[in-house]
Amino acid sequence: MVTDWPHEQVLVRYLARGVLVAVAGVSCLLLGLYSLIELIREVRDLAGDYGLWSMMMYLIQTSPRRLYDIFPFAALIGTLIGIGGLAQHNELVAMRAAGVHRQQISAYALGTVGLCLLLLVASSELLVPSLETTAQAHRDQAISGQITLDGQGAFWVRDGQFMVRIGHSVWGEDQTFQFADMVVYELADDLAPKWKLAATTGAHSEGQWTLREVAITQLSEGTPVTEQHTVWTFPSTLSPELFDAAVTRPRLLSTRDLLGMQAFLRDNALDATPYTQALWQRVFFPVHVLAMVLIGLPFALGGVFRQNPRGGLGLNLFAGIGIGLMYFVMSRLVQGVVGVWSIPIWLGSLLPALIIALVALVLLTRR
């Protein structure tokens, strides 16, 4: 064992620096590739006021979300490349000779990734939701001129002679949209409001709005008169695809917003399952990233496949990255179907990480 703590601090800093540089390099590479794909996709949508400058601003504002999406892969590949580089130059052998065990090396590597995760999670809570919503709203407004985001976070949509304000927009379990806290103004030819419709909930389908629990107030003549209706429909000229881009996906909301949407949906007897699943996915996101890195570490440390001093490292790294990516895909599949299981959603979301972490710990303890 290392008895001189200052010497061990030097080793820890050296190891952390190698992992950080590798993770940062892979993150930049993957983010650049992802942004290039988004750029090619956005070029096809250039229309109206959505020009090159608007497109670049959109790509910049949505960069934190793309970094959040690619970070599990960057953390896995970067950590294994950083550890693998130390192994290639026999620096891991020197650390082992100094008394630093494989379990300690793994803990230091995971700690480094954990610090990166703290910064990433903080940005995903504070920056990503607002930037994503603003970027999407400005993009859709520039392209179609039909949708606007107000200062309270509500959407305003122009639909023929109607102006529709949507206070809350949620994704249903079957990937349909449900709206709540809606206000609709019917405009006269001179754009003066004739009617005001306030609805508790609503839905949009091809060619029609359907509102429920509606209070209709006449505004154009004399004293306003309000009528109550259980259901009210009126025609629409909007395409449903407009809302597909405008409504924020549950996975992009902050934890606070997810908790608020859960409470709102339950209070209004609506299905909260998509938001419950997104909440636990967000809470356990750091756990899954660390588990993904952990299952790759035994391969990078040479504890699975035997290697000679001058070769064999590539096989271990390739296997480690492959196993980590396979775990990521399987965990996403499990999180997608956990809602239909008879176990709590939080347990189903956490179970893959617990299993893979146990397997990784067994591999790390092997001689």
Cross-strand bridge partners of residue 164: 157, 184
Per-residue model confidence (pLDDT) at position 1: 43
Please choose, from the candidates 147, 127, 119, the residue with its C-alpha nearest in 3D space to the C-alpha of residue 49: 147
Q: How confident is the model at residue 305 (pLDDT cuts 50, 70, 90)?
A: very low
CB 189 within 8 A of CB 256: no
Per-residue model confidence (pLDDT) at position 174: 59
Per-residue model confidence (pLDDT) at position 278: 87
Q: Which helix (H) or strand (E) holds 84?
A: helix 63-88
Q: Give the CA count within 13 Å in the CB-facing half-sphere of 261.
A: 28
Please choose, from the candidates 322, 362, 274, the residue with its C-alpha nearest in 3D space to the C-alpha of residue 77: 322
Cα 198 versus chain centre, distance: 33
The beta strand positions in the chain, using DSSP E, are 147-149, 155-159, 162-171, 177-187, 193-205, 208-218, 226-235
**What are the boundaries of each domain within the chain?**
5-126+284-365, 146-249
Taking 50 as the threshold, does the pLDDT of residue 309 lie above it? no
Q: Which helix (H) or strand (E) holds 139?
A: helix 128-144
The contacts of residue 48 (CB under 8 Å, 6+ apart) are 142, 143, 144, 145
Select the CATH number that applies to the domain covering 146-249 from these four: 2.60.120, 2.60.450, 1.10.3470, 2.50.20: 2.60.450
Judged by average pLDDT, the poorest of 165-174, 250-259, 291-300, 350-359 is 165-174
Taking 70 as the threshold, does the pLDDT of residue 351 lie above it? yes
Whole-number Å distance between alpha carbons of 19 and 63: 23
Q: Any idea what DSSP says for residue 249? A: P
Calculate the average pLDDT of the chain. 82
Whole-number Å distance between alpha carbons of 231 and 222: 26
Question: Tokens representing 122?
Answer: 């903080």
Whole-number Å distance between alpha carbons of 306 and 320: 14
Find where tokens 């993150």 sit: 27
Query: In the β-sheet with 162-171, what is the strand arrangement from edge to edge?
Result: 147-149, 155-159, 162-171, 177-187, 193-205, 208-218, 226-235
Per-residue model confidence (pLDDT) at position 7: 62
* Burial of 245 from C-beta contacts in 10 A (0-12 / 13-18 / 19+): middle
pLDDT tens profile 235-273: 888 877 777 666 777 888 888 888 888 887 787 777 778
Whole-number Å distance between alpha carbons of 70 and 178: 29
Question: Tokens representing 72?
Answer: 């599990």
Q: How confident is the model at residue 188 (pLDDT cuts 50, 70, 90)?
A: confident
pTM of the predicted model as reported, rounded to 2 decimal places: 0.80
pLDDT tens profile 91-147: 777 777 777 777 888 888 999 999 999 999 999 998 888 888 888 878 877 877 667
Whole-number Å distance between alpha carbons of 71 and 24: 10
Per-residue model confidence (pLDDT) at position 62: 93
Q: How confident is the model at residue 8 (pLDDT cuts 50, 70, 90)?
A: low
For residue 88, report the phi and psi dihedrals to the nearest 5 degrees: -65, -35
Q: Give the CA count within 13 Å in the CB-facing half-sphere of 187.
A: 11
**Residue with the larger pLDDT of the pair 118 and 303:** 118
Taking 50 as the threshold, does the pLDDT of residue 148 lie above it? yes
